[in-house]
Amino acid sequence: MGKRVKAALVLLAAGILFAAVFHQDKAGDIPVSGGPDTQELLKSKEMTRFRQVSMYYSEREKPLLKLTKQTLNDAADLNRMLFQNLRLHGIDLVFFSSPKEIEAFSKLSNITGFYSDETRMIGLLPEERERLLKGEGFAVFLYERVLIHEYTHYAFHEKLRELGSEPEDYPLWFHEGVAEWAAAHDTAYVRALPSVVPFAKLKTDRQWQKMREEDEADIYLQSYYMIDELVRKKGKSVILDIMKETAEGHTFEQGFKAAVNEDISQFEEEFRRKYDHEKTALCDPMPFSLLMNGSLLSCAFGWHLHLALDRGVKG
């Protein structure tokens, strides 16, 4: 605990969405925004406030504000249900006008968005703007899912800070699964999990990076299913219960057992038995990791999501 962690969330869609999450030295610290780069970026944009979010935009993005506010409302309601009595500190939501602008600010290439806990910012480069402005269903759906997913990571880290817990106390599958579940638990899909990766291989950055290269595994889809199975067993409150128990000074495994009333190894065995044998798809909610996958022809969309943790990196 107390280590500096730099987490990078990479979403591969029609373009690539990169969300950087920078965790502070202490869980109770509130990241400070407004550095020189941020000030330079924001000075040319209009600003409007909605709830705890300051939205920075140009005239080009102004027509998206209504949809953005509606989606923020949905995201806030969902995360309030998940995390209860959630104390949210202010955050900036910044619309970037071009790939050049967002890449110059983030120092990353081929991106369409990011979330930074260090700068207190969600950055977006909306794609399919014409379709969004026309209210076309698929474009709107994708935009909403991305924003809800990013907002959930923001709310998750706010809750950890409130609990005095550290992000690295929780395995990557839990971080990623919660965000995927929040963004897609109420949608429908037809898809089977190709294989089950041992949970012990989904904890650290090195493991995650290695497993995401495996052709026969979909660790993003698996992380969604893992959370979905827990919710089916214990209800939505199990997410916060695990966080609280772990924050009490337990290891994640101890917190899991206290909240779920079974060892994580037992849960893993049950999960493996179910999904190793479920090679035919079922009608269930669609995880965020499926929304733009070209192989999902019957629904014409699917997502791939990547979360990496780089320990000791200066944020």
pLDDT at 33: 57
pLDDT at 243: 97
- What's the pLDDT tens digit per position in 99-155? 888 888 877 666 777 778 888 889 888 888 889 889 998 899 888 988 998 899 899
pLDDT at 192: 79
Could you tell me the pTM of the whole model?
Answer: 0.77
Number of domains in the chain: 2
Low-confidence ranges of the chain (pLDDT < 50): 1-30, 280-285, 288-315
Residue ending a domain, among 132, 163, 194, is 163
Could you tell me if 202 and 156 lie in one domain? no
Could you tell me if 233 and 260 lie in one domain? yes
- Give the contacts of 34 (CB within 8 A, at least 6 positions apart): none
Domain that residue 39 falls in? 5-163
Could you tell me if 68 and 152 lie in one domain? yes
Phi–psi pair at 269, nearest 5 degrees: -65, -45
Rounded Cα gap, residues 19 and 306, in angstroms: 10
- Residue 152 resides in a domain: yes
